A and B are shown apart, each in its own frame.
Chain A
Amino acid sequence: MEKELWKGNEAIAEAAIRAGCDCFFGYPITPQSEVPEYLSLHMPQHGKIFVQAESEVAAINMVYGAAGSGMRAMTSSSSPGVSLKQEGITYLAGAELPAVIVNCMRGGPGLGTIQPAQGDYFQATRGGGNGDYRTVVLAPANIQEAVDFVQEAFDIADQYRNPVLVLADGLIGQMMEPIEWHDVSKRQLPAKDWAATGRKGRDHHNIINSLYIDPNECDDFNSHLAKKYQLIKENEVRWDTKETEDAELLITAYGTPARIVLTALEQLRAAGIKAGLFRPISLWPFPEKPLHDLAGQSHIKAILDVEMSIDGQMIDDVRLSVEGQKPISYLGHAGGVIPTVEEMVEAGKKALKEAE
């Protein structure tokens, strides 16, 4: 298959079209503005809907309306805009609506910076909205994964009737890479007979809602959601490893830093250190068991977590998964500063030394 050179944001946008996205609602914010820009031109060309909403709040609610009436809907934003969407996301989860949300993370907190960061891991996996809900979170490390995950996200969302977050960063959004538009696995999806499409002869009306004012009903509904999330945990865990079979130093990283880790692995190995990478791809559901089992191997002496975050956020899940089996250290920067290969090598050596 032929490779094409694409800018990340535009590829993400094109991926949505190829996945049969019916409508996109978005708002400009750096570093993802090219997503709505691309779609403002291309969606109408495909007979699909594009609206630039008045805010990220309005955009996520437009997604809610479209998804509630049975359509494939998507929005994209960056960190401060995704903060605004948290209410909409909990409503989507509570109303059991499928939707795809793309976040090109930038530095924070607050207005932060426009440079890439990974400070929204908590927001994505713990949920910035209220209530006991989860969103499936997929973290691409390159543009190929970004376009594959965006396409799969629509199917995952429809299968489970749940919002799916594709957690990218400004690097992926802004850079250009060669990619293939290959076939992405498609799922058998149930009919959307629950959608508020207009009755059209149906013998009952459909209601899209997250209000269960009776506490027992609310409890029951939450149990239903919990069962769904359990099913997702059993079926949707994804991760990747590199050279972990004999590793003494295990580096955990996700997204673009994980790519830089690959170079650090080469340098560490050249310096006589057996280093390996464990890269979570589904951040929720997090690959707890694979990481736990790997950490338990006797050849692993120390773990180093690397993130574009000041103290780390995924590190909490790493700690939970490792369950104290091995010592864990951290390397990270916030503010759009990306950890370098040299820093990773230094930190890796230090982690091993401290473990002795």
Chain B
Amino acid sequence: MAVVYQKSKGLTDNELHYCPGCNHGIVHKLVAESLEELGLLDDAIGVCPVGCSVFAYNYFSCDMQEAAHGRAPAVATGIKRTHPTQPVFTYQGDGDLASIGAAEIVHAAMRGEKFTTIFINNAIYGMTGGQMAPTTLIGQKATTCPLGRTQEQAGMPMRVSELLSTMDGCVYAERVCVTDIANLNKAKKAIKKAFQLQMEGKGFTFVEVLSTCPTNWGMTALKSIEWLKENMIPYYPLGVVKDTSAEVK
């Protein structure tokens, strides 16, 4: 028999605590597989956020550091600057990265810190029970905008990939999703490319993964995939937002 697919060595044997169908599990796999296939697992150091993926240190088999809410890019800076040849990544949600951690991610991109950020954008705060995120869509209901987000009250949602792309230090930013196998394959390719560019010393690399949150959107896993396609992709377009990696020596 030949193994066609088995669980990556980049993941531990621990059972994931995520809700059924949560995209975290899928993206964890793509990161783990990318690191494994690039031969980077033994040197990698990851930084996990505060959010549903706060326990990611129990799921990835590489060395991990838990960061305070939003501070992962600063923690990763401290790691990568002192370990410049090793792969370093942050894995963050939309509250962690786009709200409390907005300064840290912008400045990491500005400085062109040579680590990779995987950004899980599910347009809501998962762990704390469904509050509004900076990426919550207009009209979308959350527990802190129970009648639906309005522009007057909360402004328009934040397009983080585009924001970070304005920084010269950010050499690669792509927005992906894992709604089906075709998109999953593209997402893995993007994540692998991000790590590859990091190892080539190009600069800050960023992959935004539009994700579902079935529990806090109040839908089944399958319905939430439909909701994402119909509502999130039009506002957060998929594809390469920036790639100046070829111009960097």
Contacts and interface: CB of A to CB of B under 8 A. Distances in A.
Given A23-B81, A198-B86, A199-B41, A61 B65 contact: no
A51 B63 contact: no
A209 B60 CA distance: 14
Contacts of A68: 65, 75, 78-79
Interface size class, chain A? 35 or more
Interface string A62-79: 111111110101000000
Nearest to B63: A196
B103 A197 contact: no
Contacts of A49: 81-82
Contact of A51 (B41, B55, B81): B81
B31 to A, nearest CB: 14
B66 A61 contact: no
Contact of B68 (A55, A91, A207): A91
Interface in B71-88: 71, 74-79, 81-83, 86
A211 B79 CA distance: 20
Contacts of A196: 45, 63-65, 79
B43 A61 contact: no
Given A197-B45, A198-B42, A200-B42, A66 B81 contact: yes
A209 B224 CA distance: 32
Interface in B23-60: 41-45, 47, 54-55, 57-58, 60
Nearest to B50: A211
Given A54-B103, A91-B68, A22 B78 contact: no
B207 to A, nearest CB: 20
A53 interface: yes
A206 B47 CA distance: 12
A39 to B, nearest CB: 13
A199 B66 CA distance: 16
Contacts of A198: 42-45, 62-63, 83, 86
Contact of B71 (A58, A206, A207): A58
A63 B67 CA distance: 11
Contacts of A73: 78
A210 B104 contact: no
A209 B50 CA distance: 11
Contacts, number: 134
Given A210-B66, A211-B66, A62 B86 contact: no
B121 interface: no
Nearest to B75: A65
A132 to B, nearest CB: 18
B61 interface: yes
Given A22-B82, A69-B83, A197-B45, A62 B103 contact: no
B63 A205 contact: yes
A88 B78 CA distance: 13
B107 interface: yes
A301 to B, nearest CB: 50
Contacts of B60: 205
B77 A197 contact: no
A209 B68 CA distance: 10
Given A23-B82, A201-B42, A61 B63 contact: no
A61 B41 contact: no
28 contacts: A23-B81, A25-B78, A54-B103, A54-B107, A57-B71, A57-B74, A57-B103, A58-B74, A59-B74, A62-B75, A63-B78, A64-B67, A64-B74, A64-B78, A68-B75, A69-B45, A69-B82, A88-B71, A196-B45, A196-B65, A197-B45, A198-B42, A198-B43, A207-B65, A208-B65, A209-B65, A211-B54, A211-B55
Given A64-B74, A205-B12, 15 more contacts: A25-B78, A51-B81, A58-B103, A63-B78, A64-B75, A65-B65, A65-B67, A69-B82, A71-B82, A87-B68, A196-B64, A198-B44, A208-B65, A209-B66, A211-B54
